[in-house]
Structure 1
Amino acid sequence: MKKVAAGLMIGLMFSCHRGQVQPDHTLVLSHAGKAASCPFITQDGSGHPVVSWVEKDDSTENGLMFYAVSNDNGYTFLPPVAVTATAGVFPHDENLPKILFKPDGTVMALFGIEANDPRNKYAGKVMYTQSFDGGKHWQPAVPLVTDTAGYDQRYFDMALLPSGEAAAIWLDNRKQTNAEGSTLYFTVTHGHSGFGQAKPIAATVCQCCRTKLYVAGNGHVHVAYRDIISDSIRDMVHQVSTDGGQSFSAPVRISADNWVVNGCPHTGPALTANSQGLHFAWFTMGGGQGAFYCRSLDNGNPYTQKESLSKAPMAKHPQMTTVNDDILVVWDEPVKWKNNFNSRVGFQYKAADGKTMQAGILTTDSSYANYPVVGAVKDHKALVAYKRRDAQGSQVVVTRLNID
C-alpha cells in the first residue's frame, strides 16, 4: 500500500543533561483541503503506532474520524482509514475522540456529537462504534448512555484493561446532588456486546475539562480530573482502583492550588506511571499560573510539591507518556510573533524520578501549533502529534522523536 510521507524538519532549542530528545521526521497525516483536528495516539494489537484525528469541510461544523497505522515505528504511515460510523462527530480538542484496539481484534471508536437537547443547549452525547474486521466495516454507532435521564455526556476517556476489555469514563448530567458540577461515570465492555452497565464514581466534577483514565502496568486503574471543591475551588484530583474498577478510592487533590474560578478552564490533567510511581501534569491559575508537574511514589501517598513546566504563564493542555521508564511531557503555549501571537509546542524530558533532563520547543514560533498529544514507540523513540493552523486551514501533524 502507498505510504504517507513528508520531509519537514523543525527547530529544537534545548538544554540537556543525560538524555537528549531530537526530532528526526515530521509528517502531515490529514488530507489536503480539510479542516483537521483532534489528534490522538495509541497502538494496534500488534504494537504498531496509530494516530487518529477528525476532518471536516470548512462549511460544516461536524466531521468524520480517520486513523493511520505505521508499520515502521512512526517514520511513515499507511493511508488513512475512515471510521465511517463516526459521521457527525463534533470536533473538540478537549472532548477528544479516541480509538482503541482490543486483543481479540475489535477496533473501537469513542466520540462526541451534539445532543441538541432543550434542557442544555451545550449538551453533548457520547457515541461508540465497533469494527470486527480490522476497520473495513463498522457497526452503526450507538449511545454510551441509553438512560433517558442522561441528556449530556462529554469529556470522556477510554483505556484497555488487563482482561482485554475496554474501560471508559465520562462526565454526565445525572447526579444525586444540587451542587454544581457533573458526575463521573465508569463502565467496561463485555466482548462484542460493547459497554455494559455504568456506575458513578465521583460527583461535583468540573463540567468542562477533559478526564484521564490510565491503566498502570500492575493493573491498577487510575482516574484524574478537575473537581469542584467547596463549591468554588477547581483543582485536580486522583482516584485509583486496585480491583479492576470494582471500587475506587476517594478523590484526593494532587496539589492544593485552591484555584477559585467561576468558569470553564477547558484544560484537563495528564497522568502516566513508571517504576518510580505516578506522574501528573495539569494547568492551573491557583498558587501560580501555567502548566505544572508532580508525582507520587505510592498511588497518591503523598504527592510531591508541584513544579512549573514552562516559563510561559499560559502554558496549558499538557499531555505525557512513559518512554523507557523516563517521562516525556508536552504542552502548548502562546508565543509573540511579529505583531500577533502564535502557539507553539513545548516539552520536558524527565528522568524516572522526575528530574528534568531536557526542556525545549518542538515547533517554530512562526507557525500556530496546539493541542499536542504524545506516545512512546519502540527503539527509544516517541511520537508527538498536534494541530497546526495556517492560511490554508488546519492540519494534523506528527513528529517522531529520537530519545538517546
Structure 2
Amino acid sequence: MIKFILGFSLLLCTFFLSAHEEHTEHQKTAMAVSVAFDSQGGLWKATVHDGFLQVSKSTDMGKTFSKPINVNHIPQKIGADGEARPKIAISPEGNIYLTWTEALKKPFSGYIWFARSTDAGKTFQAPYILHQDRSEITHRFDSLNVSADGKITVTWVDKRDLIAAKAAKQPYEGAAIYYAVSDNKGQSFSVEQKLADSSCECCRIALTNKPDGTVAAMWRHVFNGSERDHMMAEIPATANQLAEPKRATFGRWKVDGCPHHGAALVSGGEANRWWGYHMAWYDGGNDDSGQKATMFYARMDGVAWVSSPAKKFGNMKKQAGHPALLAVGEHVWLAWREKDAGSSQVWLMKSDDEGKSWGIPSMIATSPGNADYPQLLQKNEQVYLMWNTGAEGLKALAI
C-alpha cells in the first residue's frame, strides 16, 4: 500500500510537470469554457467548437442556451484546455468582450485575439490581434479584466524578451508578463507593456480589481534557483510607468518544469474598507514523491505586502487543485476540484470573517468522468458555482 501511494503521488507530480508547455490541441468541442452574467441576469458562455469561438446565452440558468454565434469566421487552432481557454467579460452597459489564444505553426507560439459585441450579443465585430508584436513566438495564456469604469485590461505570457536574451547570449529565466489596455470600449488597445520578467511559461494569470478600479495580477514566477512561487503586481494607471512586483508566496518549490496550475485572486474589503487580497494556490513541495504537494489560502495586505500564515486545504491524494475564489463583503467562498474513483468532484468552504477563519469543507457537486475546473460567479445577491462536465454539461448551482 505504501508503495502504491508513493507511486500514485509521483504520478500526480509527473502529470503537472510533464513538460514546460503543452501545445494546444485541436478539439471538436472543448470542455474548458468561460461564463459571465450580464446586468439582466442572462448567463453567457464562451466555448470552442471545431475551430470556432462560439458565444451563446441562457435565460434559465444554463438549462438551455441560444443558438451559438461564431465569433471568428475563419477556423483557428484555439487554446481551450485547462489553463488555456477563451475569456468572456460583460461591461455594465452590456458590451460583451472576448479574448482567446490562437496557436500558430511553431510549437508554443500564439497570438492573442480580441472581439466585442456592442449590441448585447446580437452581432460581434471583426476580431483582431490586440498586441503590436507579431513575431511567431509565445503570446499565450491570456486573461481578461473589465473594471467598473469600463477599462479593459488583457494580460498574457510573452517570450519576446527570452528570444532577445538568447540572441544576445544573455541568461533569461522563464517568460514575461505583458499587458495592454483599452480606454475606448475595445475599439483599440494601447501598445503592450511589460509587467514583469521571469514568469512561468504556462500557468494562468489571475486578475482582480481594487475598489478604485486598479487591476492587480498574480502569476507563478521563476525566482532564483528555479523556485516556482507566485508574484503579484498592480498594473500602473499611466502608460510607461513601471510596475512594482511583490513576492506573494514562499513555498520555495524548486522545479525545472511548468505546473500548468495557476492561482486564484480576489480583492478583499469594499470601498474605503479595502485591505488587500485573497489568494489561493498550488505548491508542489520539494520531495520526489509529491507527497508534500499542497493547496494554500492566504490574505495579502495590499499596503504592507505581507501575507497571513498560509492555510492548507484540499485532499491531495484526490488531485485537489485549480481553486476559484469569490468575495462579497465579509463573505468569501473557495472552491476546487478533486477526483475520486473515476468521478470529478467540487469541494467548497466558506469564510464569514474575510478569510480569517473557515468553515468545514464540503463536497457540493460530483459528476462521473472528466470535468472542467470550477468557476464562481455572483448574480445580484446570489453566488453560483459554474461547472462544465463531460457527462452532464454545464451545471449552475446556487450556494
TM-score range, shorter chain: 0.7 to 0.9
Give the one of 294, 319, 330 matched to 1:325. Answer: 330
- 2:184 is the counterpart of 1:180: no
- Separation of aligned partners in 2, 1:260 and 1:233: 4
Q: State the percentage of identical aligned residues.
A: 21
User: 168-177 or 240-249, which moves further after superposition?
Assistant: 240-249
- 2:144 is the counterpart of 1:145: no
Higher relative contact order (CA 8 A, sep 6+): 1
Give the one of 232, 249, 254 matched to 2:248. Answer: 254
Paired residue for 2:156?
Answer: 170
For residues 146 and 240 of structure 1, do their structure 2 counterparts lie closer, same or farther at Cα, with a shift above 3 Å needed? closer
- 2:62 is the counterpart of 1:65: no
Q: TM-score, normalised by structure 2?
A: 0.79
Which residue type is aligned with residue 168 of structure 1? V
Which residue type is aligned with residue 401 of structure 1? A
User: 264-273 or 78-87, which moves further after superposition?
Assistant: 78-87
Paired residue for 2:264?
Answer: 270
* SS of residue matched to 2:72: helix
- Separation of aligned partners in 2, 1:63 and 1:325: 40
Please list the CA deviations of residues 174-200 of structure 1 after superposition, one character each: whole Å capped at 9, or x if unmatched. 116441311111111142522221100
* SS of residue matched to 1:193: coil
Give the one of 71, 75, 79 matched to 1:84. Answer: 71
For residues 242 and 169 of structure 1, do their structure 2 counterparts lie closer, same or farther at Cα, with a shift above 3 Å needed? closer
Paired residue for 1:8?
Answer: none
For residues 235 and 222 of structure 1, do their structure 2 counterparts lie closer, same or farther at Cα, with a shift above 3 Å needed? same
For residues 383 and 259 of structure 1, do their structure 2 counterparts lie closer, same or farther at Cα, with a shift above 3 Å needed? same
Contact 1:345/1:369 (8 A) holds in 2? no
Contact 1:116/1:123 (8 A) holds in 2? yes
Please list the CA deviations of residues 52-105 of structure 1 after superposition, one character each: whole Å capped at 9, or x if unmatched. 23243xxx5x343223244x7x47665254243275333223112111223454
Contact 2:92/2:148 (8 A) holds in 1? no
Alpha-carbon shift at residue 289 of structure 1 (Å):
1.3
Give the one of 388, 396, 399 matched to 1:399. Answer: 396
Q: TM-score, normalised by structure 1?
A: 0.78
Alpha-carbon shift at residue 308 of structure 1 (Å):
1.1
Give the one of 208, 213, 217 matched to 1:214. Answer: 208
Please list the CA deviations of residues 225-256 of structure 1 after superposition, one character each: whole Å capped at 9, or x if unmatched. 00000151111111124747774643222221
Equivalent positions of 1:368-387 (< 5 A) are 368-379=370-381, 381-387=382-388
Please list the CA deviations of residues 124-155 of structure 1 after superposition, one character each: whole Å capped at 9, or x if unmatched. 22111122222222222211223233632111
Give the one of 363, 366, 390 matched to 1:364. Answer: 366
Alpha-carbon shift at residue 205 of structure 1 (Å):
0.4
Alpha-carbon shift at residue 344 of structure 1 (Å):
1.6
* SS of residue matched to 1:268: coil
Unpaired runs of at least 5, structure 1: 1-33
- Separation of aligned partners in 2, 1:306 and 1:378: 31
Paired residue for 1:3?
Answer: none
- Counting matched residue pairs gives 350
- Separation of aligned partners in 1, 2:379 and 2:371: 22
Paired residue for 2:23?
Answer: none
Alpha-carbon shift at residue 300 of structure 1 (Å):
5.5
- Separation of aligned partners in 2, 1:248 and 1:362: 43
- Separation of aligned partners in 2, 1:67 and 1:401: 21
Please list the CA deviations of residues 235-292 of structure 1 after superposition, one character each: whole Å capped at 9, or x if unmatched. 1111124747774643222221111111121110100123253100111112741321
- Separation of aligned partners in 2, 1:111 and 1:148: 15
- Separation of aligned partners in 2, 1:115 and 1:352: 46
- Separation of aligned partners in 2, 1:293 and 1:137: 41
Paired residue for 1:21?
Answer: none
Contact 2:83/2:260 (8 A) holds in 1? yes
Please list the CA deviations of residues 336-376 of structure 1 after superposition, one character each: whole Å capped at 9, or x if unmatched. x2xxx433211111223311124111223645333111112
- Separation of aligned partners in 2, 1:248 and 1:106: 30
Unpaired runs of at least 5, structure 2: 1-27, 166-170, 270-274, 287-291
Higher helix share: 2
Please list the CA deviations of residues 276-321 of structure 1 after superposition, one character each: whole Å capped at 9, or x if unmatched. 5310011111274132100123346210111112133431111111
Alpha-carbon shift at residue 40 of structure 1 (Å):
2.1
Please list the CA deviations of residues 3-26 of structure 1 after superposition, one character each: whole Å capped at 9, or x if unmatched. xxxxxxxxxxxxxxxxxxxxxxxx
For residues 226 and 270 of structure 1, do their structure 2 counterparts lie closer, same or farther at Cα, with a shift above 3 Å needed? same
* SS of residue matched to 2:33: strand
Give the RMSD, CA atoms, in angstroms.
2.6
* SS of residue matched to 2:322: strand
Contact 1:180/1:231 (8 A) holds in 2? no
Higher strand share: 1
Paired residue for 1:96?
Answer: 85
